[in-house]
Amino acid sequence: ARAQAMEVTGRPDVTYADIGGLDEQILEVREAVEEPLLNPEQFDSVGIEPPAGVLLHGPPGTGKTMLAKAVANETDATFIKMAGSELVQKFIGEGSRLVRDLFQLASEREPAVIFIDEIDAIASKRTDSKTSGDAEVQRTMMQLLSEMDGFDERGEIRIIAATNRFDMLDRAILRPGRFDRLIEVPEPAHEGRRRILEIHAEGMDVDDVDFDALAERTEGLSGADLASLVTEAGMFAIRDDRTTVTMRDFEDARAKITDEDDSPGTPVA
């Protein structure tokens, strides 16, 4: 189960340059995760502890996983990912053992960045210890907290968690010594959307594509949506037997992604 539950990458190939519109968040992540790994003595000489864990929170598809991978890339660290939802849905009864394995593996592969996606699945406010399923979820969470208590903040293992449901989180995990550094990763604004489109279209042969105008008309789309938009634009070019991608292709892709031409009969929420 251990091999299935964790995604391990020697050194991810995502870099900060691949991330659009999150300059502030990149700085914060570098400070909280990268500095303690690369310059632990800095913290010693100032006499403070680095953050124990970092929590990235924000809507789906905004680049949280990319941020975690980019830090691992920059620090030449092993990236070990585990999804909170899998721990409670797929590996029922094995949660706390898997958490133990996770830290064990990280210590064997130092330096390492542990990324726990969907942490809300194991640390939700609504968890009620009276039902047995929830007791198991709580045990998993307790194991995580005890592993975090047991390691040295200045060591070679850093922990990043992510959630799309910050409001649902059990506040106990945000206490000092736990996930004590919060970084909000918002939906991209205009400038961010333009950068994300440009980044994803970098390898494309584009003809007269106005990324600024596209950014203007894609409010509400996430980074993941914008990545699909670029792919769709490429698909339109392929369908037309072209290798150059035009503004028209991007416009068509935008209409498709944003569901602009809702056909009649589409249920209205």
Residue ranges binding ligand ATP (CB under 6 A): 19-22, 60-66, 117, 162, 164, 196, 199, 223-224, 227
User: Among 1, 151, 148, 25, which Cα is nearest to 87's?
Assistant: 1
Ramachandran angles phi, psi of 54, nearest 5°: -115, 135
User: DSSP assignment of 187-217, as one string?
Assistant: PP-HHHHHHHHHHHTTTSEEES--HHHHHHT
Of 76 and 184, CB closest to ligand ATP? 184
Residue 62 Cβ vs ligand ATP, minimum distance, rounded to whole Å: 4
- C-alpha 183/C-alpha 255 separation (Å) is 32
What would the two tokens of residue 253 be?
């892709």
The nearest distance, CB 227 to ligand ATP, in angstroms, is 4
- CB nearer to ligand ATP: give 79 or 153: 79
Nearer to ligand ATP, 69 or 178 (CB): 69
* Least distance (Å) between residue 20 CB and ligand ATP: 4
Nearer to ligand ATP, 65 or 78 (CB): 65
Closest approach of ligand ATP to the CB of residue 58, in Å = 7
Kindly state the smallest distance separating residue 65's Cβ from ligand ATP, in Å.
3
Q: Give the whole-angstrom CA distance, residue 156 versus residue 72.
A: 11
Closest alpha carbon to 61 in 20, 92, 33: 20
Is the Cβ of residue 114 or residue 138 nearer to ligand ATP in the bound state? 114
Q: Are 94 and 56 in contact (CB under 8 A)?
A: no
Closest residue to ligand ATP, judged by C-beta, is 223
